[in-house]
Every structure is written in structure tokens, then in C-alpha cells.
Amino acid sequence: MLLNNVVLDTTKKVCIMRSMTSKIVFDWDQWNVQKNEMKHGVSHLEAESAFFDPGYKLFQDQKHSTAKELRYILYGYSIENRVLMVGFTLKKKKVRIITARQASRKERVIYGEKKSKTK
């Protein structure tokens, strides 16, 4: 099923984002920019960089999606060398980031980051 350049494979509950022009356009709410920097220490540039990680993982956000607005969760490696969780929606063919934070340990496993052996 194709949803605004997002392909959803309902059998695996995973979706794959494909850019038709290979250009991703971001649309930010100024409050979300400030909130993410203050609360999570993630700048808008770092959050956007996760979308360009060739190994990103993308899922439909079942918990926060509504009939009017589908939401997605992306796990990707950022320019600050950390795995981020980015929650976003698509509005008028633009990516509108709602939240971005450093991924939890469980989310890093979903992303596929190898567990480091610490003793």
C-alpha cells in the first residue's frame, strides 16, 4: 500500500520510505525545535540527519496514529554518532518531525546496533 511516498508492508508492520525525487523536505514547528533541543538535546539538524542513514528502520506508529493523521517512527544513526528515535508525520509531501530523542537500549536493539560487552 502506498501512502504519500511511504510503502507499508502490513504483513511485517514495517514501512519503507521512498523518496520519489531523492529529496526529503522537512517542515518544522518552531515549538518542536525548541522542545527537542531543551528536553532531549537533539537539534533539528541532527534529527533530520537520521533520515539519511542508509540503515534506518521505519515503522508505522500504531499507538499515536489516527484516522486523520498517520504517524511513523524512524530509528536512524545521526551526524552526532548516536541512534535516534524520530517520531514524524507526512503533511503535504513534507516530513513533519514531532519528536526526536536518543534511542533507548531496547530501541537500539531494534535498530540493529550491536550490544557492547561491558564488564
Question: Does residue 74 carry a pLDDT above 60?
Answer: yes
Listed residue (75, 66, 79, 72) closest to 101, CA to CA: 75
Burial of 63 (0-12, 13-18, 19+ CB in 10 A): exposed
Q: Where are the domains of the chain?
A: 24-111
pLDDT, position 96: 92
Residue 105 pLDDT class (50, 70, 90 cuts): very high
Q: What letter represents residue 105's amino acid? A: R
pLDDT, position 92: 86
**What mean pLDDT do residues 3-11 have?**
45
Question: Does residue 7 carry a pLDDT above 50?
Answer: no
DSSP letter (8 states) at residue 82: S
Output 96 or 28, whichever has higher pLDDT: 96
Vertex 104 angle, CA 103 and 108, to 5°? 70
Question: Does residue 8 carry a pLDDT above 70?
Answer: no
The SS3 call for residue 50 is: helix
- Summarised one tens digit per residue, pLDDT across range 21-48 is 457 888 888 888 888 899 999 999 999 9
20: how many CB neighbours lie within 10 A of its CB? 7
Output 107 or 6, whichever has higher pLDDT: 107
pLDDT, the chain, mean: 80
